[in-house]
């Protein structure tokens, strides 16, 4: 039997081996594996003893299709390189760059095994126990879980002992649709399988190595079993549960909703939506009360109810921080991230610092600060940073609102908020002038008009006059807000006017700010909404059209939910960007470069494109289209025409024939038809349905044949 460390180019594939030697010999010496291709192929090729060199050409280089289909990936690559050099498509030097380290895989290819029966009869041999085979087939018929120790054979007829676990996989209707076979190599725990004459031919060193290896494996197995007995049951691995056929860890063949850990909150749940509305309202409350308390020197210690309310607000904001550490978010790829570690790191890098500063109890500090009022006011003013949370809250709630109306309301609230801030500043300027003895300031005149004039009292403690009297706090605030609103919306009415220099300077600045705000918010509100909500408006318009279509044509509820799920998931991936529209902006050369980049996974992962020139790849790339499929989508129906070739970039699909699952397709697989061999349009032999969200890269039949017709060497 061949050595396990050798690659697929062994003497049992003599023709292909001579082909490789022929190619490698052209660049070095005949009968050698030390040329550029041999070095590029890997060290295991060097360990092969070269056969007698014989030039190979003509029909021997053209293998039949059935043999090509059975070639492993490394043999297929070498065969394609040989043909490419012989036909002059690439030079031997360029072939050295194309080839990489071979995987030297032995055995059957995956797609070939998927087409075999789960009875594994193709692995039976002379020494396979008949009773074990009967028990195995009986378990399959009865659809029971079971395990066996069985002797099976590799493709090269090398025997090996396997611990075979059989587990039936059920769908949502509790019907067995698949069988899961788990194979574990236990050859090292068994006696040697070779015959006596083969065992006698082993050298002493080989026997010693086999004995040491087997003993070490047995010791490791015993040690592992002893250690596992000491460990707690809750810390056993899923593999151990699987090997013991635990039904808790067996996969289920059904479309399940995404599961999140029990302590993780979904960002789109009803509770989180209501909570975000509460945070939005409390943020506006903070933005209103903080400037008011700072300007009017309103200490919370004077009003116990206000202190309690502000403390409750601080506690709610602190709870919001805790919830943000346990709330999912949408990742850059449109997926819902529920990993606690990723959620915490994302929040720590984004809003945590601002949220932490905004929830500190500054009002409590201010309430017990009787000596330095300015410090307490400074602490309270820092709570204005909570206003930065408005944008984040609005972005979370936009899917529940008619975005244009919500944006208009927020702009109006912001306009009123600016007027409130300016009113607080206007009062502070009037109070400062009154403290300095300016009797013609607006605040002093207001006191005379309301018959609550200001006066001074001499303080024996500070040896300075103290301003007392004046209008009520409510009257002063309403008058300040009235003045700022009249200046922001018009030129004012003159009943409250700027008299002192400080008041005039502030009024000038306020009018400039008001003119900009008025022109921006009220003059161009339609333009602002269109610019800021164009993508979202398009998204909502699309959803509304889909909903109206479903109602108009009375589409069944189950199908309507599938359509809505597909529309939402596709939008999350594309963000409403039309790829074709963007590519049309670019010139031809740039468009080809972008298409090659977009299809890089297909070109890099599939061996069919390894020998394609750059020009061929660019010609193919511009004809590829990307599509997104949701779970349950039927891509092909039995009997319909096939005019596309599909490459799976991500996701899983099932192939159903006669109501039975015959294959599972995953990342890197291809399905469609061989247009380049048969000029006629083929028919689908089975149904192809998506099991998960899938990203596909497809190319039309006509476009593919057009490229192949031009690039004959690649075809």
Please report, for the domain that includes residue 166, its CATH number.
3.30.450.20
Number of domains in the chain: 6
**What domain range includes position 687?**
580-710
Is there a single domain that holds both residue 569 and residue 628? no
Is there a single domain that holds both residue 563 and residue 666? no
The CB-side HSE value for 64 (13 A sphere, CA atoms) comes to: 2
Q: What percent of the chain has pLDDT over 70?
A: 66
Whether residue 244 lies inside any domain: the answer is no
Q: Calculate the CA dihedral of residues 330, 333, 339, 344 and round it to 10 degrees.
A: -60
The neighbour count for residue 23, using CB atoms within 10 Å, is 24
Quick one: average pLDDT of 285-314?
77
Residue at a domain's end among 382, 400, 418: 400
Residue at a domain's end among 400, 432, 451: 400
Instruction: Please give the Cα distance from 470 to 481 (Å, whole number).
Output: 18
Is there a single domain that holds both residue 94 and residue 132? no
Please provide the DSSP assignment of 306-369 as one string. Answer: HHHHHHHHHHHHHHHHHHHTTB-EE-TTSPEE--HHHHHHHHHHTTHHHHHHHTS-HHHHHHT-
pLDDT at 343: 92
Quick one: average pLDDT of 486-510?
86
The sign of the torsion formed by the CA atoms of 60, 66, 67, 73 equals: positive
pLDDT at 234: 42
pLDDT at 233: 45
Quick one: average pLDDT of 43-62?
48
Q: What is the tens place of the pLDDT at every residue in 341-385? A: 999 999 998 888 878 877 777 666 655 554 555 555 555 556 566
Confidence of residue 395 (pLDDT cuts 50, 70, 90): low
Confidence of residue 423 (pLDDT cuts 50, 70, 90): very high
Confidence of residue 241 (pLDDT cuts 50, 70, 90): very low
Instruction: Please give the Cα distance from 82 to 79 (Å, whole number).
Output: 5
Instruction: Please give the Cα distance from 380 to 297 (Å, whole number).
Output: 11
Residue 205: pLDDT over 70: no
Is there a single domain that holds both residue 75 and residue 174? no
Residue 481: pLDDT over 90: yes
**Which residues contact residue 654 at a Cβ distance below 8 angstroms, ignoring those fewer than 6 apart?**
661, 663, 664, 665, 688, 689, 691
Quick one: average pLDDT of 258-273?
82
pLDDT at 427: 92
Our separate counts of H helices and E strands in the chain read 29, 17
Is there a single domain that holds both residue 268 and residue 387? yes
What pairs with residue 657 in β-bridges? 660
Angstrom CA distances, 191 to 97, 117, 155, stand at 46, 29, 21
> Which helix or strand (DSSP H or E) is residue 579 part of?
helix 579-584
Whether residue 530 lies inside any domain: the answer is yes
Residue 226: pLDDT over 70: no
Is there a single domain that holds both residue 425 and residue 390? no
CB of 664 closer than 8 Å to CB of 654: yes
Is 29 or 536 the better-scoring residue by pLDDT?
A: 536
Residue 479: pLDDT over 90: yes
pLDDT at 537: 77
Q: What percent of the chain has pLDDT over 90?
A: 9
Whether residue 201 lies inside any domain: the answer is no
Is 485 or 286 the better-scoring residue by pLDDT?
A: 485
| Average predicted confidence (pLDDT) for the chain | 74
Please report, for the domain that includes residue 499, its CATH number.
1.10.287
Q: What is the tens place of the pLDDT at every residue in 136-182? A: 889 888 888 888 899 888 877 788 888 888 888 887 778 888 888 88
Q: At what angle do helices 304-324 and 270-295 cross, to 10 degrees?
A: 140
Is there a single domain that holds both residue 497 and residue 371? no
Residue at a domain's end among 343, 365, 400: 400
Question: For the chain, how long is the longest CA-to-CA vector?
Answer: 124
* Lowest model confidence (mean pLDDT) among 468-472, 499-503, 547-551, 580-584: 580-584
Terminal Cα-to-Cα distance of the chain (whole angstroms): 38
**Which residues contact residue 369 at a Cβ distance below 8 angstroms, ignoring those fewer than 6 apart?**
375, 376, 379
Is there a single domain that holds both residue 343 and residue 470? no
Confidence of residue 258 (pLDDT cuts 50, 70, 90): low
The CB-side HSE value for 432 (13 A sphere, CA atoms) comes to: 11
Instruction: Please give the Cα distance from 312 to 364 (Å, whole number).
Output: 11
Closest CA to 506 of 600, 409, 618, 427: 427
Angstrom CA distances, 265 to 268, 269, 328, 629, stand at 9, 8, 6, 27
Is there a single domain that holds both residue 78 and residue 136? no
Instruction: Please give the Cα distance from 45 to 42 (Å, whole number).
Output: 6
What pairs with residue 654 in β-bridges? 664, 689
Burial of 299 (0-12, 13-18, 19+ CB in 10 A): buried
Instruction: Please give the Cα distance from 210 to 208 (Å, whole number).
Output: 5
Whether residue 446 lies inside any domain: the answer is yes
Tell me the three-class secondary structure of 34-64, residue by residue: CCHHHHHHCHHHHCCCCCCCCCCCHHHHCCC
Q: What is the tens place of the pLDDT at every residue in 644-686? A: 889 999 889 999 988 888 889 988 888 887 766 776 777 888 9
3-state secondary structure of 225: helix
Is there a single domain that holds both residue 327 and residue 382? yes
> Which helix or strand (DSSP H or E) is residue 177 part of?
strand 176-185
Instruction: Please give the Cα distance from 98 to 154 (Å, whole number).
Output: 31
Whether residue 200 lies inside any domain: the answer is no
- Rounded to 5°, the CA angle 182-125-70 comes to 75
168 sits in the region (left: phi over 0; alpha: psi -120 to 50; else beta) called beta
* Lowest model confidence (mean pLDDT) among 167-176, 254-263, 426-435, 555-564: 254-263
Is there a single domain that holds both residue 412 and residue 391? no
Instruction: Please give the Cα distance from 713 to 219 (Å, whole number).
Output: 57
Please report, for the domain that includes residue 613, its CATH number.
2.60.120.10
Quick one: average pLDDT of 597-613?
86
Burial of 713 (0-12, 13-18, 19+ CB in 10 A): middle
Is there a single domain that holds both residue 381 and residue 425? no
The pTM of this model reads 0.46
Residue 13: pLDDT over 60: no
> Which helix or strand (DSSP H or E) is residue 671 part of?
strand 670-671
Closest CA to 611 of 142, 101, 239, 87: 87
Q: What is the tens place of the pLDDT at every residue in 316-343? A: 988 999 999 999 888 877 778 888 999 9
pLDDT at 534: 74
Residue 73: pLDDT over 80: no
> Can you read off the two tokens belonging to residue 294?
């700072």
Whether residue 230 lies inside any domain: the answer is no
Instruction: Please give the Cα distance from 625 to 598 (Å, whole number).
Output: 10
> Can you read off the two tokens belonging to residue 501?
């220099």
Whether residue 415 lies inside any domain: the answer is yes
Whether residue 562 lies inside any domain: the answer is yes
């Amino acid at each position: 039997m061949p050595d396990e460390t050798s690659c697929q180019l062994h003497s049992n594939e003599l023709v292909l081996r001579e082909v490789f030697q022929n190619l490698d010999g052209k660049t070095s010496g005949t009968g050698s594996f030390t040329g550029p291709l041999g070095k590029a192929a890997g060290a295991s090729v060097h360990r092969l003893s070269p056969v007698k060199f014989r030039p190979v050409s003509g029909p021997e280089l053209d293998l039949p299709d059935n043999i090509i289909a059975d070639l492993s990936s490394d043999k297929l690559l070498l065969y394609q390189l040989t043909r490419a050099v012989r036909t002059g498509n690439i030079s031997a030097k360029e072939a050295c760059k194309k080839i990489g380290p071979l995987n030297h895989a032995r055995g059957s290819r995956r797609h070939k095994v998927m087409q075999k029966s789960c009875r594994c009869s193709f692995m039976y041999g002379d020494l396979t126990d008949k009773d074990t085979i009967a028990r195995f087939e009986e378990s399959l018929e009865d659809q029971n879980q079971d395990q066996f120790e069985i002797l099976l054979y590799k493709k090269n007829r090398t025997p090996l002992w396997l611990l075979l676990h059989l587990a039936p996989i059920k769908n949502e209707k509790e019907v067995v649709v698949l069988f899961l076979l788990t194979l574990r190599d236990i050859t090292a725990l068994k006696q040697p399988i070779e015959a006596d004459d083969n065992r006698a031919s082993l050298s002493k060193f080989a026997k010693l190595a086999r004995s040491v290896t087997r003993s070490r494996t047995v010791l490791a197995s015993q040690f592992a079993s002893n250690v596992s007995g000491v460990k707690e049951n809750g810390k056993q691995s899923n593999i151990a549960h699987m090997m013991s056929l635990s039904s808790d860890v067996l996969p289920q063949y059904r479309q399940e909703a995404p599961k999140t850990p029990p302590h993780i909150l979904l960002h789109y749940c009803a509770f989180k939506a209501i909570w975000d509305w509460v945070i939005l309202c409390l943020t506006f409350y903070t933005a209103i009360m903080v400037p008011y308390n700072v300007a009017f020197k309103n200490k919370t210690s004077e009003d116990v109810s206000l202190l309690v309310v502000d403390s409750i607000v601080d506690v709610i904001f602190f709870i919001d921080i805790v919830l943000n550490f346990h709330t999912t978010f949408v990742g850059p790829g449109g997926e819902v991230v529920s990993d606690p570690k990723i959620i915490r790191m994302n929040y720590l890098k984004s809003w945590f610092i601002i949220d932490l500063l905004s929830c500190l109890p500054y009002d409590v500090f201010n309430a017990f600060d009787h000596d330095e009022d300015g410090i307490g006011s400074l602490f309270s003013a820092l709570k204005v940073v909570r206003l930065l949370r408005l944008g984040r809250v609005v972005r979370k709630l936009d899917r529940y609102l008619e975005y244009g109306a919500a944006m208009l309301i927020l702009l109006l609230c912001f306009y009123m908020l600016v007027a409130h801030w300016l009113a607080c500043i206007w009062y502070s300027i009037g109070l400062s002038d009154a403290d300095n003895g300016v009797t013609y300031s607006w605040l002093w005149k207001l006191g005379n008009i309301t018959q609550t004039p200001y006066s001074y009292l001499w303080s024996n403690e500070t040896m300075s006059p103290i301003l007392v009297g004046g209008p009520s706090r409510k009257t002063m605030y309403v008058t300040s807000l009235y003045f700022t609103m009249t200046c922001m919306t018009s030129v004012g009415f003159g009943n409250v006017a700027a008299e002192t220099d400080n008041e005039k300077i502030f009024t000038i600045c306020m009018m400039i700010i008001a003119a900009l705000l008025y022109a921006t918010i009220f003059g161009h509100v339609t333009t602002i909404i269109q610019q800021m909500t164009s993508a979202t408006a398009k998204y909502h318009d699309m959803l509304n059209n889909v909903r109206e279509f479903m109602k108009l044509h009375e589409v069944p509820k189950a199908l309507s939910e599938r359509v809505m799920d597909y529309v939402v998931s596709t939008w999350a991936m594309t963000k409403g960007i039309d790829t074709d529209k963007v590519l049309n902006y670019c010139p031809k050369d740039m468009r080809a470069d972008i298409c090659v980049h977009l299809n890089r996974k297909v070109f890099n992962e599939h061996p069919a494109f390894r020998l394609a020139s750059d020009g061929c790849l660019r010609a193919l790339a511009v004809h590829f289209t990307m599509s997104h499929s949701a779970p349950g989508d039927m891509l092909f129906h039995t009997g319909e025409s096939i005019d596309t070739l599909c490459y799976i970039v991500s996701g899983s699909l099932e192939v159903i024939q006669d109501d039975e699952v015959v294959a599972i397709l995953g990342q890197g697989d291809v399905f469609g038809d061989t247009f380049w061999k048969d000029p006629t349009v083929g028919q689908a032999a089975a149904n192809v349905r998506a099991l998960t969200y899938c990203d596909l890269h497809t190319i039309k039949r006509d476009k593919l044949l057009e490229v192949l017709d031009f690039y004959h060497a690649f075809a």
